[in-house]
Amino acid sequence: GQQVMQIPQYQHVQEGEDFTTYCNSSTTLSNIQWYKQRPGGHPVFLIQLVKSGEVKKQKRLTFQFGEAKKNSSLHITATQTTDVGTYFCAGPNSGYALNFGKGTSLLVTP
């Protein structure tokens, strides 16, 4: 079945540094979604990418969907302590459920 892999598993940065997490699928995806989960919290939907090569920005966050629609990335510019959490990518499964990657845990130290 379709698998979504994420790297790195953990990332520790100093506040102000940039951060990138990568997501790779074993199959072509119709769309990809990104979520953020703060420690002790629940996943919060960030964005959905649908088109090949799509790039979307949300303030300091830049999301990209690969041309082949098998990979995606999330880049955070100038991290802040509020960016701490685990970032998940997810691709559609059978029906309309999602297969989540294992996530990248981001730690930002001031």
Partner 1 sequence: DSGVTQTPKHLITATGQRVTLRCSPRSGDLSVYWYQQSLDQGLQFLIQYYNGEERAKGNILERFSAQQFPDLHSELNLSSLELGDSALYFCASSVVLGDSPKYFGPGTRLTVL
Candidates 62, 100, 105, 107: give the one binding partner 1 (CB under 8 A). Answer: 100
Q: Which of 101, 96, 91, 108 is nearest to 32 (CA)?
A: 91
Indicate whether 90 belongs to the interface with partner 1 (CB under 8 A): yes
Candidates 29, 54, 88, 104: give the one binding partner 1 (CB under 8 A). Answer: 88
Report DSSP state, residue 97: -
- Per CB under 8 A, which of residues 37..56 are in contact with partner 1? 41-45, 48
- The piece of 14-22, 49-57, 67-75, 97-105 that touches partner 1 (CB under 8 A) is 97-105
Residue closer to partner 1 by CB (options 5, 78) is 5
Indicate whether 92 belongs to the interface with partner 1 (CB under 8 A): yes
Indicate whether 99 belongs to the interface with partner 1 (CB under 8 A): yes
Compute the distance between CA of residue 28 and CA of residue 47 in angstroms, rounded to an integer. 18
To 10 degrees, the CA torsion angle through 95, 105, 60, 80?
150
The contact set with partner 1 (CB under 8 A) reads: 31, 33, 41-45, 48, 88, 90, 92-103
